[in-house]
Amino acid sequence: MASHWEEFYATHLPPSDFEDNRMLLKEFCDRHNKSGDRIVLVTSGGTTVPLEHNTVRFVDNFSAGTRGAASAEYFLEHGYAVIFMHRLKSLEPYTRHFNGQKFMDMLELNDRGPNTTITVKPDSVDVLAPILANYKVAQDNGKILYVTFTTVSDYFWLLRSACECLQPLGTKALLYLAAAVSDFYIPSNQMPTHKIQSGAGAPTISLQLVPKLLAPLVSLWVPQAYVVSFKLETDESILITKARDSLNKYKHKLVIGNILQTRRQKVVFVTPESSYEVSLTRDQMMNAMEIEDLIVSNIVIGHSDYIGSFKY
C-alpha cells in the first residue's frame, strides 16, 4: 500500500512552473557541488491552503518570512551557497531591510521636470551601502537561488525536487526548514472547482492532515544531509516535548523550538542529547542584533562537526 506522502504526489499535480524550477535547482546544486561548496536549503514564509481550484479564498498563516530571509543572509556570510525557497511575496534577503515606505524615505527627488535625478539621502547611504554590497557579492557570484511557492502543494513538490538535487552533496547539504507549513489541507479531489457560493448557507469545510514529509526527507531523499527543522508553539509548556518527539520520530539532527510572541528574542535548540536556549541579551537587542545571527552561527558549528565526523 502506498504511504500517505506517496499518495499525495500521485494525486496532486505539480505547479505550472515546476519544470523550470527543477532545472534551476539542478544547475545550482551541480555547480556548487563541483566547486566543493556547502549548500543550505532555507525554506521561508507560510503556505496557503486553497478552498477552491479556481482560488478565490484560502486559509493562510502569520509567517512573513523574516526568519528565513535574515538567516539566508547569515548563511551567505558563512560562505554557504543558498537555495532560498520562499513564499511568493514574503520577505527576501537584503530587500527585507527596505520594505515599503522605508525605501521611499531613503530617497530624494532633485528638481522636478526634465532634469529630475534621484539620490540616496546622505544619512541613508551608510545603511544602504553595506547591504547593497553584500547583495551584489551574492548575486555576482551566483551564490543564491530564489525559488517560490504559494500553496502547501507547491511547497511539497518543490521541497522534494530540491532534495533530489541536493542528494549528491551528501553531508555538505544543510536543510533549514523554517517555513510555516500548514498541517491541514483540502485534498485536490475534494476541492470544489468554482468559488464557494453563499446562497447555500455557510459551508462546512473539512480539512485533512498533510503528510509528514520529514519522514521520507530524512530517511530517503537526503539521508546524509544535516537536517534542521523548526517547531512553533504558543504554549511554552509543550515546546520541548514536541520538539523531542519530532526528533525521535524523524531522526534528524536538530529541532529549533520557538514561541510565537518571543521568537525574535529567543529559541531553544533541541538535539537528541540535550536542549539549550539561544537568546539575545538586552545589549544585543539595543544594538539591533538579530537572533538569526546567533542561530546560524550555532548551526554552522554543528554542521562542521557533522561533516568532520565522516572524515575518519
- List interacting residues with ligand PAZ (CB under 6 A): 63-67, 178, 180-181, 230-232, 258, 263
- Whether the CA torsion 220, 224, 225, 227 is positive or negative: it is positive
Q: How far is the CB of 234 from ligand PAZ (least distance, A)?
A: 10
| Phi and psi angles of residue 266, each rounded to the nearest 5 degrees, phi first | -150, 150
Q: How far is the CB of 292 from ligand PAZ (least distance, A)?
A: 9
Sort strands 275-279 and 39-44 into parallel, antiparallel or unpaired. unpaired
Q: How far is the CB of 91 from ligand PAZ (least distance, A)?
A: 8
Kind and range of the H or E run holding 278: strand 275-279
Q: Nearer to ligand PAZ by C-beta: 33 or 43? A: 43
- The answer to whether 236 and 259 are in contact (CB under 8 A) is yes
Q: Nearer to ligand PAZ by C-beta: 138 or 228? A: 228
Sort strands 208-209 and 226-233 into parallel, antiparallel or unpaired. unpaired
Q: Nearer to ligand PAZ by C-beta: 65 or 93? A: 65
Q: How far is the CB of 256 from ligand PAZ (least distance, A)?
A: 7
- The answer to whether 208 and 184 are in contact (CB under 8 A) is yes
Q: Nearer to ligand PAZ by C-beta: 170 or 211? A: 211
Q: Nearer to ligand PAZ by C-beta: 78 or 263? A: 263
Q: How far is the CB of 62 from ligand PAZ (least distance, A)?
A: 6
Q: In angstroms, rounded to a whole number, what is the distance separating the alpha carbons of residues 108 and 121?
A: 6
Q: How far is the CB of 52 from ligand PAZ (least distance, A)?
A: 25
Residue 243 is which amino acid? A
| C-alpha angle 297-136-80 in degrees, rounded to nearest 5 | 30
Selection from 274, 56, 83 nearest residue 178 by Cα: 83
Q: How far is the CB of 252 from ligand PAZ (least distance, A)?
A: 14
CB atoms within 10 A of CB 231: 20
Q: Nearer to ligand PAZ by C-beta: 148 or 258? A: 258
Kind and range of the H or E run holding 25: helix 18-34
Kind and range of the H or E run holding 147: strand 144-149
- All three cell numbers of 298, joined, read 550555532
- The answer to whether 17 and 161 are in contact (CB under 8 A) is no
Q: Nearer to ligand PAZ by C-beta: 152 or 169? A: 152
Q: How far is the CB of 16 from ligand PAZ (least distance, A)?
A: 26
CA-based Rg of the chain, rounded to a whole angstrom?
Answer: 21
Q: Nearer to ligand PAZ by C-beta: 165 or 228? A: 228
